[in-house]
Amino acid sequence: DVVLTQTPSTLSATIGQSVSISCRSSQSLLDSAGNTYLYWYLQRPGQSPQLLIYLVSNLGSGVPNRFSGSGSGTDFTLKISGVEAEDLGVYYCMQATHAIFTFGSGTKLEIK
Amino acid sequence: QVTLKESGPGILQPSQTLSLTCTFSGFSLSTYGMGVGWIRQPSGKGLEWLANIWWDDDKYYNPSLKNRLTISKDTSNNQAFLKITNVDTADTATYYCARIGTTGGYVMDAWGQGASVTVSS
């Protein structure tokens, strides 16, 4: 099974600070057709997860452009360029390259 | 507008079977490439993917739970279902269903509000 390891587990940031979250996969997420099915979600307190990034680097509908995704193979990064108060919550990466989906363990973003 | 809503028993006893229903609108599970997934989250913990069902009735399960899970759908009534047999306290969680859309690969692009399930004697 594919294991996704997120670091750090907790992140504390001030408003306006830029932060990055890492997601490392135990197997390559590149499929035979050249696609990489890696996604990022944000779960705000008391809410359902919402899509931020799809296919490594594509912004979800309505997602502010301060969010960006990058990476390939087994190493992926979510970057927030200028944290805002509404960004607090838990960030999860998820892979769907392999038919058995898996989520990372999550990164909690706290606002100082 | 895509919406999903989970429903379940709320509380059940150990060894019973948990039956969950996802009622959705704004898309059809008969559309090529479409799917519905089930995900759960124990209180204060992370997300755990459970199962997916696809437009062509293909099904995939979390290997750690596979023997206890059954996913199914009723396309005409826009519903998907998940059954978990022989529950115990470790199955206490909020259960979400999500649409797996056709744009952006296998993206879970819309989620329900979640259904809270407690297993207790």
Q: How far apart are CA A63 and CA B104, in angstroms?
A: 15
Q: Which residue of B has its CA nearest to A96?
A: B106
pLDDT in tens, A47-99: 999 999 999 999 999 999 999 999 999 999 999 999 999 999 999 999 998 78
Give the pLDDT of residue B76: 96
Q: How far apart are CA A88 and CA A101, in angstroms?
A: 25
CB atoms within 10 A of CB A55: 17
- Report the residue from A48, A50, A92 with minimal CB separation from B114: A48
Count Cα neighbours of A93 within 13 Å in the Cβ-side half-sphere.
Answer: 34
Give the pLDDT of residue B105: 85
Block residue for tokens 């390259």:
A97
Q: How far apart are CA B8 and CA B31, in angstroms?
A: 26
Give the pLDDT of residue B66: 81
Report CB contact under 8 Å: A54, B52.
Answer: no
Q: Which residue of A has its CA nearest to B63?
A: A100
Q: pLDDT 10s digit of each residue in chain B, 121 long?
A: 999 999 999 999 999 999 999 999 999 999 999 999 999 999 999 999 999 999 999 999 999 998 999 999 999 999 999 999 999 999 999 999 999 987 878 899 999 999 999 999 9
Output the DSSP codes for A69-107: EEEETTEEEEEESS--GGG-EEEEEEE-SSSS-EE---E
Residue A37 at interface with chain B, using a CB cutoff of 8 Å: yes
